[in-house]
Each structure stands twice: as structure tokens, then as C-alpha cells.
Structure 1
Amino acid sequence: MTTTPIHLGRPDGKGLAAGTLGLWGSTVIGLASTAPVYSLVATLGWVVLAVGAQAPIAFIVAFVPMLFIAFAYRELNREIPDCGTTFTWGTKAFGPWVGWMGGWGVAVAGMVVLANLAQIASIYFWALFGLSLENNDWRIILMAVVFIAAMTWVSWRGVEIGEKIQNLLLGIQYVALAVFVIAALWQFFAGSAPNPTPFEWEWLNPFAFESWSGFTQAVLLALFIYWGWDTCLALNEETKDPKRIPGTAALLTCVLLLVTYVGVTVAAMMYAGLGEDGVGLGNEANADDFFLAIRDGLLGPFGWVLVVAVLISAVSSTQTTILPTARGTLAMGVYRALPARFKEVHPRYKTPSFSTLVMGVVASLYYIGMTLISDNILQDSILSLGLAIAFYYAITGYACVWYFRRELFTSGKAFVTKGLLPLLGALMLTYAFVQSAIDMWDPEYGYTVLFGIGGTFVVGIGSLAVGVVLMVIWYFFPRSKRFFAGESLNRDTEVMVPEDPADFIRSIDGGI
């Protein structure tokens, strides 16, 4: 005899496939969203250039605000397990204007990184065939759009099939990282590493940073590699225990990422050292892609394994990046913050059908347009990604403190998890936002100069400003009136998900 889950919609639900994900599935999707292999490839070299031997502690320091904000996500999710996450929580805490902008921050970050991931996946796809093409080559563009379309289809097809695919793709990524660490340490202890550098505890000394600007730059870079764990919160309505599993998965994801990043960084430093030539991590020529620089020396004829790992990492994250944005705009459609079409859910697959397709189309058009206009502007938009991330994470932290303000002094635990840690995380990210914006103002920052200032600043702040314009335009549409009046979503609005997942799922003996 077997038990078969039957999804039962409730009148006040959004129609998503509730009860699909367990703790493991949620954690896998959270990990996959961060693209651990690609994140290390894109960041490790630059962090070492910024702080040298303090790279491991830089990753640890950057983990702190992520952990603090993860507590904010967990506490808010326990109270309000809504797939709108920052949009819903920000609206309930501060009102419709702040909430709408929080949702826009999530959408902007997703769109920009999706274009980047698709491009990286395409570059590495062609690299497997020995082709090194310009970023604006038609073959790069075509394959990138194919990857976006394929992963959009997977996301539209259902979260369950997406989970199965992510299990496989994440497994391959971690096998590749394990091979990298084992091979690096093996050569270190065998004395065959190009520049064997013994481990020093000083690498983990938070007081050994020699430059404040280098420290802030490294931490800001490291923030990028942790971003994405909150995807498991956007799937809260599709878990078997919406109030417990997503928050636990978020914290577990953060810890696993910390161990992964610090472990790989230490192994890389022991293998290649910090030299400024050859395969040294201090060599700026290797900063864009450290794995490609060492793959042949480290793995010999099996160097292609690292290329495949980066390709898979980018493709994997392309799919999981679509998930939170589509569910965020679904919630915005449900609560009248966007046109009604955005609240459509596929009757069979129980996914945000219209929102998912829109995400794929918009990301493709954005990528094609930016690449054809100037690949440098596309790269600047990627560099500015930290602004959108810090923006909506900070809103979440502040929203947690303000939403639970009447409960903060009822117990020590409530004060710490609902107040102190989220507030500290939000303040750290606010500083990161301001410091990043100041740095990006410099015309020397990034790849372009627009209006006499850094193009990265113009693109980053401009993308958030576009949200303000769209929000004001939407304000004048009749459907928006109840939202901006605080009627369709406010602190007292009941969450449009059941209190108990059993309200969605029942089990029967035998088949359907």
C-alpha cells in the first residue's frame, strides 16, 4: 500500500503545490541558488587581491550579516509564511511603498544575475569545445538564451522536477569541489604544488587586515557569493512545514556555504600561494577565473572537470534564480501590487505560470539588449548587483525588528532573534549599500563612465530608481488602489496560506 499526496486548494490560498519540498529539498535549492562553484570562480581571486592572506576570514566576516538576516527571514517566515517574502513582510511592517520597493529589489537582483549566469554558462559550454569567444559573439548570445529558456521551462513545469534536477546538479558541483580540495592538498603534502604555502592561523585573524578599504571591498565581494540562500524562503508555501522548514533550511544553507567557501579558499592558498605571477592567487590575470588558471596543473587531463562544474553551477543557479522572482511577483499580483495576470497559477503544475514566463522573457530581452548595446554595461550591471541585494536584505532586517517590536522584550530569545541580530544585519547591509554606492561613483570603478561618474553607480542606483517610477505609474491604475490604500495587504491581513500544510494535503491508500 502506498500513500499518494493530493493537493487541495483553499479559497484563501494562492494555488501553489503545497507540501512538495522537505528540509533536504529546500536546502538543496538554497545551495544551488548561490551557485557555489561559479561564485568561488568569480570572487576568490578578487578577494585575495583585496586582502591577501586574510581571504578566509573575509569570507567568515561576510557571513555574519548573512547569518543575522537569515534569522530575520526565519522569524518573519514563522509568522508570515508567504512566498512574497520581502515584499509581503516589508508591506506588513512599513506599508505599501516600502514593501513594493522591497519586491522590486528582489526582481532586479534576479534579472541581472540571471543574465550573467546564462552568459557564463554559455561561455563555459563553448569552452568545452575549445572555443574562446567574445562575450557578444552570436554563439554566446544564442546559447545563453537557450539556457534561460530551458531553465524557465523547468521552473514552469513544477518545483518537484526542479528539485530532482537540482539534486543531481548540486551533487556534481560538490563532487568537483571535493576533487579540487583533495587534489590541492594532496599536491601540497606531496611537495608538488606550484607554490606550497603552509596553513597559518593568522589567515583567520579578523584583526590582521592591513587596509580598511581592502577589507570593505573584500567583504562586499564576499556578500555576493552568499546571496541566493533566501530562495528556499520564497518556496515556503510549497514545503511540507511552511513555518519551520524554510527558516531552518536558510540557516543550514548559510552554514554549509561558510564551510564550503572557507575550506576551498584555504586549500587554494595552500596549493597556489599568494604570488603575483604564475598560478598565484595574487596574480591579477587569474582573478576572473582562478579555476581555469590552475585546472591543467592540478588535474592534468581531467582539467575539464572544473569547466563542467562551473557550467553546471551557472545553469543550476539560472533555474533557481527564476523561482524567488516568479513567486515574489505572484504575491504582488495576488495583493494587487501588480496586474492580475501575475497571480495566475498553472492548474496542473501549480507554478506561477505567467510570472515565470515573464521572468524568462524579460531576462532574455535584458541580456540581449545589454550585450548588443555594450557588454561593458552588462558587466557594470553585474558589479552593481550588491546594491540591490543589500537593499532588499536590509529592508527584511528592519521589517523584522519593526514587525515584532511589541514582542522584543517578552524574552531574551525574542530580543536576540527578532530584534538584535536582524537589526545588526540590517545596519551592516545598509553600510555595505552606502559604501558600495560611494565606491561606484568613482569613474574608475567598473567598465564604463556615464554622465561623468561610474557607470556601475548609474546602473545600480538607476535600476532601483526605475522601480520608483514604475511604482508611481502603477499607483494610478484602478487595480492598485486597494493596495496603496493599505486594504489588500496590511499588518492584520491573514496570510494566504494555511496554518497547517495538512489543510492542503491529505494521504489516501493506493493510487489516485
Structure 2
Amino acid sequence: MTVQSPPSKGLRDGSVGLLATVALGLASVAPAYSIAVTLGLVTLVIGDLAPAALLLGFVPILLTAFAFRELNREMPDCGTTFVWNTRVFGPAVGWIAGGWTVLFATVVAMTALAEVGASALLGLVGASDSTTAVTAVAVVLIALSTAVAHRGVQLAAHVQYVMLGLQLLALFAFGAAALTHEGAAGVSLAWLNPFAVGGFGPFAEAVLLCLFIYWGWDALITFNEESVDSARTPGRAALVSTLVLLVTYLFTAFATVSFAGTASAGHRLADPDTAADVLTGLAPAVLGDAFAKLVTLAIAVSAIGALLTCSTSTPRTTLSMSAHGALPAAFARIHPRHRTPAFGTVFFGVVAAGFLVLLTLLSADFLADAVLSIGLLIAFYYGVTGLACAWHFRRDLTRSVRDALLKGVFPALGGLMMLAAFARSAYDMADPAYGSTRLGGIGGVFLLGVGSIVLGAVVMVCVVRPRHAGFFRGGRTAVTRVSVTDN
């Protein structure tokens, strides 16, 4: 089987190298924001074993990253999971698991990121943080990120260098100050002991929360057709970015637990007033009021940077889906000068802004539960992709130990772990007490997560399939012809 570059879809090839691709991947995760809003929640579930959850949550992420690397090496296409799952499991699975689920999760994330960025910016300048003000600024941020994304991936990468540098500087400054602060407890390796977690339920919940803080690195794969050496650079960048995230998160978690402890009062990690945003809550005590603003700025920049990468990567997924006949031709329109998927970029900017306004009008709790549901969607499409890798390369597994591990065992284990976390968490989230909303005795987080997948199936069967019957008849052949030539 010979790998070849896919026919050009009109994107500007060779635009980004390894460093820029890593920056785009790291920025899409929003490291400062993600650890700030997740670490306290993990602590509420399993106490000072939060570093263990971060480490365990990284395992299926790393195993899945191997799957993404191997699949991209053979099928470099900006449609990534859509193309790979269609090739392996057929058009229906490819459209739902590789297309719709990824897009839906990203749109929800864009609304949350815009809101967080807006709220942090308003807080920095001392302006009103009313719901109307936050929503208005959030819509402006979505419009700005859409405008930058419309101009091209090179501009987005250059902007991300500055944003990412500020985030990492703030996180390591906070961590160093916390570790050396008077009264900080010593770091304990026992915090990394996963066997001390009390039961599978808390363990699964904590790991699913940690999936959210790693999620987003796979956005960098969507730039593969614009990367230098498209078959190898994105895969390498995926592994590098996930390892950088692990080191950054573990350092921050150890430092924060050492400084604050896990008590439920007095600005500790399990204090409800602190848990929702541990960095903002603890920064004044760690760095002083003046430097604490640097942390708040980093969280704002973190959210805005991730929003920018979402605005840049998402239209490339729909570009590929359109090029393969799975979406209307408008999504394949390329701007003649900027060489970007112009229609798709503007489309998702409008959808994200409209979704944000709609959820805000319905209820702030509804938006919060929509964000919590993202973990289910991540576990679902990562899990399916891991199994797709193992099945696609099943005939290569006896060629060498490397092939057996990196193409088969690791991706399959990662996929199974993701799907197990999905099943267990879906079960827990169905409880009406889970989250802030409920309908008919079922938790709102479950309805938003699993319900969005079901909604995607309905849209596919009732709307997309009748209009794009050719793809559903011969989708496997179409993506094979574009990505891979069999000898």
C-alpha cells in the first residue's frame, strides 16, 4: 500500500512546520483555562489524588495519539477522523463519529471559550460582567477569531505563538511560586497512586474530567494538508503537544495541591469558591494582587487562543466532508487569495455565536451542562478512532513489534478505555442529580451528550442521506481514492 498526498483541495500547502503545528495543537487545548477550571473539580472527586487522575487520563490520550499518527501517516487528509472512520467502518460511522460528533463538540466548546474569554477580559478592566455584557463581548471575540481564521493558518499560528507563550509563562510562574511559598507542604509521590482511588465510579469521573483538559490537540491534524511533510509532521506534533501538556499539568497540579491542600474551606482546592477556577482563586495568595492579574490575563488569552484554533480547524473538517460528497458543495469553497475554506469559516462563526446567544437566553445552567457533555463526545469519537486504527492495520500487525504495538495494541487499548469511560460516564450522567438541568427524570448532561449523537443520526438519515446518497453508497471508495492508492 503506497501513501500519496491527496489531490489539492485548494489549501496553501507547506504553510506550517513542526513548531507552528505544535503551537496550534497546544493552543487549541487552552492549557491555562483547562487546568484552572478542571483541577478543582477533579479534587472534589478524588482529593489529593488529582495528579494520579491527570496521569491516568493521559494514558488513553497518548494511546489515541498513536492511532492518529499512524492513520495520518497513511491517509493525510484534513478531514482526519471523518476520512479514517469512513474508510474503516463505512460512511454512516464516518459521518457520525468522525464528522458530526467532532463538529458538535467543537461548536459547544467555542461558545464556552468565548464566554470565558469575555468574562476574564471584562474582569481585568473592571467593567460590568453582566450576562448581557459577557455575551456581547463573547460574540465579538467569535467574530474576531473568525476574521483571523479567514485570513489563513499562517496568521493564526503567529498569533498563537504569543498567546501560548504567555500561558506557559503564567502557569510555570504560578507553579514555582506555589511550591516555594512559605507554608507549602512537601510534594508526595503518593499523589500519583491510582490504586488509592475509592472505587471505579469516582475514578471514571475524574479521568473523564481530565480528558477535557487534554482534548483539542487533534485539531492540529486538520492542518495536515497545509503542513510541511503532511504525512509525518502532524503525527509528530500530536505526540510532542500531548507530552508538553502532561508535564505542564502535572507540575501545576503538584504545586497547587502542595500550596492549597484539599480542604473544603479557606481557599483550598475543594472549597466551592475556589474549585470552579483554582488559578484565579489562588493567584492573589500565591503571587500577590498585582501579578495575579497576569494569571487572569493568561486564562483569557488561553480561551481566546483555543477559540481561534477551533475557528481555523473546524472548517477544514467540513471542507473534506464536502470534497468527499458528504456535505453541500459550499463548504468546499476556497477563498482565492487567502486559500482558506471561506464559507465554512464564516458558517461556523455564525453558528457558534447563535448557539451562545441561544443557550444564554435559555439558561446559564444549560450552557454549563452543555460544556460538561463535551467529555462524552470526546470519549466517543476518540474511542471509535482508536479501534478504527487497530482494525485498519490488522494485516500489518505481524510484520514487526513496532507495528503490533503502535498500530494495533496501543490504539485498541486506547479506544476501549475511551469507550469504557463513555459508557460508565453516560450511566452516571443519566442521574437527574448530575449537573444543573434535567428533563423527564434524566440528567441534562446525558441528554446533551448522548442526545447530540442521536440527533446527528437523525440528521444524517432524514436530511443528509437523501441529498448526498452517492457518498453513502460509495463513501469508502471515495475516501480511498483520494487518500490511498492500493498496489
- With the length of structure 2 as denominator, give the TM-score of the two structures: 0.95
Deviation of 1:456 after TM superposition, in Å, equals 0.9
Task: Select which of 343, 347, 356 maps to 2:336.
Answer: 347
Alignment of 1:109-148 (within 5 A): 109-131=105-127, 133-134=129-130, 137-148=131-142
Aligned counterparts of 2:65 and 2:28: Cα–Cα separation in 1? 15
* Secondary structure of residue in 2 paired with 1:303: helix
Aligned counterparts of 1:36 and 1:344: Cα–Cα separation in 2? 32
| Structure 1: runs of 5 or more not aligned | 1-9, 498-512
- Say yes or no: does 1:399 pair with 2:388: yes
| Structure 2: runs of 5 or more not aligned | none
2:416 corresponds in structure 1 to 427
Deviates most, 409-418 or 362-371: 409-418
- Say yes or no: does 1:179 pair with 2:173: yes
Aligned counterparts of 1:383 and 1:445: Cα–Cα separation in 2? 10
Deviation of 1:487 after TM superposition, in Å, equals 5.1
Aligned counterparts of 1:285 and 1:250: Cα–Cα separation in 2? 35
Aligned pairs, how many? Answer: 479
* Secondary structure of residue in 2 paired with 1:442: coil
Alignment of 1:134-283 (within 5 A): 134=130, 137-187=131-181, 191=182, 193=183, 196-283=184-271
- 2:352 counterpart letter in structure 1: A
Rate the CA distance shift 1:294–1:242 in 2: closer, same or farther, 3 A.
same
- 1:494 counterpart letter in structure 2: V
Aligned counterparts of 1:297 and 1:166: Cα–Cα separation in 2? 29
Aligned sequence identity (%): 44
1:62-96 alpha-carbon deviations (Å, 9 max, x no partner): 00000000000000000000000010000100110
8 Å CA contact 1:60–1:258 kept in 2: the answer is yes
Task: Select which of 68, 80, 85 maps to 2:80.
Answer: 85
Aligned counterparts of 1:224 and 1:454: Cα–Cα separation in 2? 19
8 Å CA contact 1:121–1:311 kept in 2: the answer is yes
1:396-444 alpha-carbon deviations (Å, 9 max, x no partner): 1111112112212222111111111000000000011111111110000
Deviation of 1:254 after TM superposition, in Å, equals 0.7
Aligned counterparts of 2:309 and 2:160: Cα–Cα separation in 1? 8
1:506 corresponds in structure 2 to none
1:441-487 alpha-carbon deviations (Å, 9 max, x no partner): 00000011112210111111111112111111344544x12211115
8 Å CA contact 2:397–2:408 kept in 1: the answer is yes
8 Å CA contact 2:118–2:137 kept in 1: the answer is yes
8 Å CA contact 1:94–1:399 kept in 2: the answer is yes
Aligned counterparts of 1:214 and 1:457: Cα–Cα separation in 2? 17
Deviation of 1:210 after TM superposition, in Å, equals 2.6
Aligned counterparts of 2:106 and 2:484: Cα–Cα separation in 1? 24
- 1:172 counterpart letter in structure 2: L
8 Å CA contact 1:234–1:323 kept in 2: the answer is no
What RMSD, in angstroms, separates the aligned Cα atoms of the two structures?
Answer: 1.6
- Say yes or no: does 1:463 pair with 2:452: yes
2:70 corresponds in structure 1 to 75
- 2:397 counterpart letter in structure 1: L
Deviation of 1:359 after TM superposition, in Å, equals 0.8
Aligned counterparts of 1:21 and 1:242: Cα–Cα separation in 2? 10
2:90 corresponds in structure 1 to 95
* Secondary structure of residue in 1 paired with 2:482: coil
* Secondary structure of residue in 1 paired with 2:195: coil
Divergent runs of 4+, >4 A = 487-491
Task: Select which of 434, 450, 468 maps to 2:439.
Answer: 450
1:154-196 alpha-carbon deviations (Å, 9 max, x no partner): 1111000000000010001111112101211221xxx2x4xx2
8 Å CA contact 1:91–1:490 kept in 2: the answer is no
Deviation of 1:131 after TM superposition, in Å, equals 4.4
- 1:108 counterpart letter in structure 2: F
Deviation of 1:50 after TM superposition, in Å, equals 1.0
Task: Select which of 85, 102, 108 maps to 2:104.
Answer: 108
Which structure: greater helix fraction?
A: 2
Deviation of 1:488 after TM superposition, in Å, equals 7.2
Deviation of 1:60 after TM superposition, in Å, equals 0.4
1:318 corresponds in structure 2 to 307
Deviation of 1:230 after TM superposition, in Å, equals 0.4
Deviates most, 280-289 or 232-241: 280-289
Aligned counterparts of 2:121 and 2:428: Cα–Cα separation in 1? 34
